[in-house]
Structure 1
């Protein structure tokens, strides 16, 4: 452990935000000089004693590239009690959790000698971070699809044929009872995936390699995966095209395929989207429900008229309820104002550039769905050949769909933020659900803009001047907001898009920085 642990003592600051929203307890560490300037909060894990462990990916070099992970163990008072530096060596951390007083890391490592991708369990006592390694399994690199790049300026030649992370995706079930690995397997003839499920002692529960018979990679798009925490069953969602055309006679040219994988084999469920276009959908499940949700359009895969919802029975693998819900008039008024919003609603206005950011099931079985109006614009100087990109993080959509498939409400949070890249970590937002209330955390200017028709908008500002806000949407759809942390008082700006929700959903952990200054804040909801 580094010598600075002998004298670092983080000072505890605790207060509550009250007023229009439910109280939020804010607990801050003191501000310290961070030895790692460019970091990204990747994982947190509750330690079982009121504290938590964080893992931050840090970057270095002239062309910034990942160099390692900085692991810190905080007690309940936000004192750093242990720290550890994991250096990247053809490797990465895929997941992190705590079990039986042990901190456990799932490690991916490129084994050049054996030409394999190795997956290891790194374990350490929380009382002293000193990791031991145990191999879980290996996958031959020749069997796993990976992206390849042509010369600079020619881009990526096969990225559209790689389903998500080529080093394998790792998922934990809700209560960390099961760990799932998902791989896109190289097969020139048929779309093939390998799924391995382990219990939290890393005993293999089952593995399943399943194929889309007669279907090539380009015609099957992997969407989402979720795990049943009670038994380890895996649900796998994908989109199957009939041909390379996106439309067929003006209609959608695909159907969605849902797979249930377990030790008994594979079950398959197909459902079309009732002649609507559905670009993609996401899965979420709890003890009672398996939910599939997304956006639909009457025009194409890249427009959004409203939400699509499927409620499925996990046992007999059938659809209980479904619904296609256009955005409400209230949502359109929130976004465009009274007269303009009603007019756009009547004309069937469809939105664009929406990106999923939050998906939750509340205590009553309702699905809470949030998304952001996100897009990128490029500008090329043809004299120099230099291209710059501007990232836009605009309005937030939040909606509530009941278990029958009906939309109970939809709200639009007006927001206007853009950056050329230096402020990406501080924009966007984080959402969670607590006691059937939707909590949205975002940064904005000290002054919330007042708009026509009793509306508000959160605007950007210089990163050093951003303050932290909380928006609370009540079960009936009404919402209020409060400034949780004023930037002048905080001395740092928090990376809301990298925030992590604790295992019991009671708190949110945010990392804040300003130059070399660093602070951790815990928001107890």
Structure 2
């Protein structure tokens, strides 16, 4: 009886039809296999130069692995560097021929040393240089908001400057620092403190730097305490800080009934677009997209556009019949992963649903599951207006996707079950069954939002590639396979 019930549950779970699949429009090639000398697969940086020299940096428990592959994906450089257990990877920036890996070392209870590993792909060299020493109050972290892109590093479009943002919170003072460095000499250009306040707490969201070494730091400034919501209203306002060596300016981004988890900076000419999602309930929910246009020079908020999610987002998630009833409800637990721009000034935002569940399995064992589920995609035109929205109905337990724009089409790469499932209600589900093998897919979106489901390959043994760790440069998407000691690269052109 239990076996029959189990089989019945399986069948009821996977009722649907095999989705019609197309061959990817991308040209697919694979490199020759190479022996992996590293003991880790945690890729922290993968970048390619203009002459197609690829740098790969991976992190182990006590080491960093630096590797270079030539234009034919043959490994031409490999070095494994031991690091102290108190040294932590923070961020990386890349321009020209050089990758810069930023780490912080806990020298003592109150002293932190920030270092830069310079990895030159043309000269095939790797060096380490100390950037600065910082004092912290007690055991407060120096890079508290790095997971949310608040504190960390950013590089200017020309690659001439990079900025590192850190916390400087003391017992009686909230404060933050930006340090701007010359990218060639690594000399400090200037250091500036901003958002100093004895009572009001500031939460960084995003940071950027332009070719004039001007830094734009965006975040939430709380009104009273650290609660996101008080008496039904947002207990914060967004502040855009403009920081130069000589001057510090700021402007408030006005909110009405919106609750916004975070905003990302996108720069076009003399304009800054602050993009994100809003809710009418709380910051963990999603009602639609918002876009604030700011004049880069005057910091004037030129326009504010708030748009509910298009009906197509709900049709992709719930099917056409249920979408009409769901469209007034708010989604939840979505976090922005990608803000992409095409050659015509359009901007794409991609966010993934992420949450954690815990299940008690008995005998004191608790199983924690990380969920990387649905994806929401919004496209804004060059005028900052919402052009269209779509979504991907998927289920996964690890980071599984990446995205890039090629010839005005958006490509979303992900691993899922060998055959996509088309539900009776019209939805296409990307997930893997209990006994199902996996495949690599390219969800290709045309400029007007039409989607084509393109299978790149069925995954086999060590030739399963991981898009989440890939990189798109020189019109080529490059990613590495996983599993075992033998690896390969896949190139999508």
Question: For the superposition of Structure 1 and Structure 2, which TM-score range results when normalised by the shorter chain?
Answer: 0.7 to 0.9
**8 A Cα contact 2:354 2:371, kept in partner:** yes
Moved more, 476-485 or 113-122: 113-122
Asked if structure 2 preserves the Cα contact closer than 8 Å seen for 1:311 and 1:403, the reply is: no
Q: Which of 393, 412, 420 is equivalent to 2:391?
A: 412
Query: Residues of 2 paired with 1:467 and 1:384: CA distance?
Result: 37
For 1:209, what is the secondary structure of its paired residue? strand
1:417 deviation in Å? 2.3
Structure 1 residue matching 2:172: 3-state secondary structure: coil
The Cα of 1:181 is off from its aligned counterpart by 0.8
Q: How far 1:180 sits from its partner (Å)?
A: 0.7
Paired with 1:312 and 1:22, the residues of 2 have a C-alpha distance of: 39
How far apart, CA to CA, are the structure 2 residues paired with 1:296 and 1:265? Answer: 32
Residue matched to 1:357: 337
Distance in 2 separating the partners of 1:168 and 1:88: 22
Quote the offset at 1:286 in angstroms: 4.1
Q: Is the 8 A contact 1:21 1:472 kept in 2?
A: no
Query: Any idea what SS the aligned residue of 2:62 has?
Result: strand
CA contact (8 A) 1:83 1:129 kept: no
After TM superposition, the structure 1 = structure 2 runs for residues 42-441 of structure 1, keeping only pairs within 5 Å, are 42-58=44-60, 66-89=61-84, 90-92=86-88, 94-95=91-92, 97=94, 99=96, 103=98, 105-110=100-105, 112=107, 116-123=111-118, 126=121, 129-142=124-137, 145-146=140-141, 162-164=144-146, 169-201=152-184, 202-216=186-200, 219-228=201-210, 230-244=211-225, 245-345=227-327, 348-381=328-361, 383-418=362-397, 424=398, 427-441=399-413
Tell me if the contact between 1:277 and 1:300 (Cα under 8 Å) persists in the aligned partners: yes
Q: Does the 8 Å CA contact 2:64/2:80 hold for their aligned counterparts?
A: yes
- Once the two structures are TM-superposed, the CA of residue 114 in structure 1 deviates from its matched residue by 11
CA distance in 2, matches of 1:492, 1:433: 24
- Residues 372-393 of structure 1: per-residue CA shift (max 9 Å, x gap): 1221111124x53221111222
SS, match of residue 171 in structure 2: coil
Question: Residues 490-512 of structure 1: CA distance to partner in whole angstroms, max 9, x if unpaired?
Answer: 7422222222233x4x2222121
Tell me the distance in 2 between the aligned counterparts of 1:123 and 1:412. Answer: 39
Change (3 A) 1:123 1:449: closer
Task: Label 1:437 to 1:320 Cα distance change in 2 as closer, same or farther (>3 A).
Answer: farther
User: How many residues are treated as equivalent by the alignment?
Assistant: 468
TM-score, length-scaled by structure 2: 0.86
Name the residue aligned to 1:16: none
SS in 2 for 1:414: strand
For 1:278 and 1:167, the matched residues in 2 are separated by 15
Q: CA deviation at 1:191?
A: 1.7
- Measured at CA, do residues 463 and 370 of structure 1 come closer, stay the same or move farther in structure 2, by a change above 3 Å? farther
Q: Extract unaligned runs of 5+ from structure 1.
A: 1-18, 59-65, 148-160, 419-423
Q: In the TM superposition, what whole-angstrom CA distance separates every residue of 1:98-152 from its partner, at most 9, and x where no partner exists? A: 65x6x454443526389643334444664664544443332234598328xxxxx
In 1, the alpha carbon distance for the partners of 2:309 and 2:93 equals: 38
1:461–1:357 CA distance, 2 compared to 1 (3 A): farther
Give 1:517's aligned residue.
Answer: 486
Q: Quote the Cα distance in structure 1 between the aligned partners of 2:165 and 2:139.
A: 11
**Separation (CA, whole Å) in 2 of partners of 1:220 and 1:109:** 22
Contact 1:286 1:361 in 2 (8 A): no
Runs (4 or more) in structure 1 with deviation over 6 Å come to: 165-168
Is the counterpart of residue 507 in structure 1 residue 476 in structure 2? yes
Change (3 A) 1:299 1:98: closer
Q: What is the match of residue 158 of structure 1? A: none
Higher RCO by CA contacts (8 Å cutoff, separation 6 or greater): 2
Q: If the length of structure 1 is used for normalisation, what is the TM-score?
A: 0.81
SS in structure 1 of the partner of residue 396 of structure 2: strand
C-alpha change, 1:127 and 1:404, in structure 2 (3 Å) is closer
Between the aligned partners of 2:357 and 2:120, the Cα distance in structure 1 is 47
CA RMSD of aligned residues (A): 2.9
The whole-number CA distance in structure 1 between the counterparts of 2:489 and 2:66 is 13
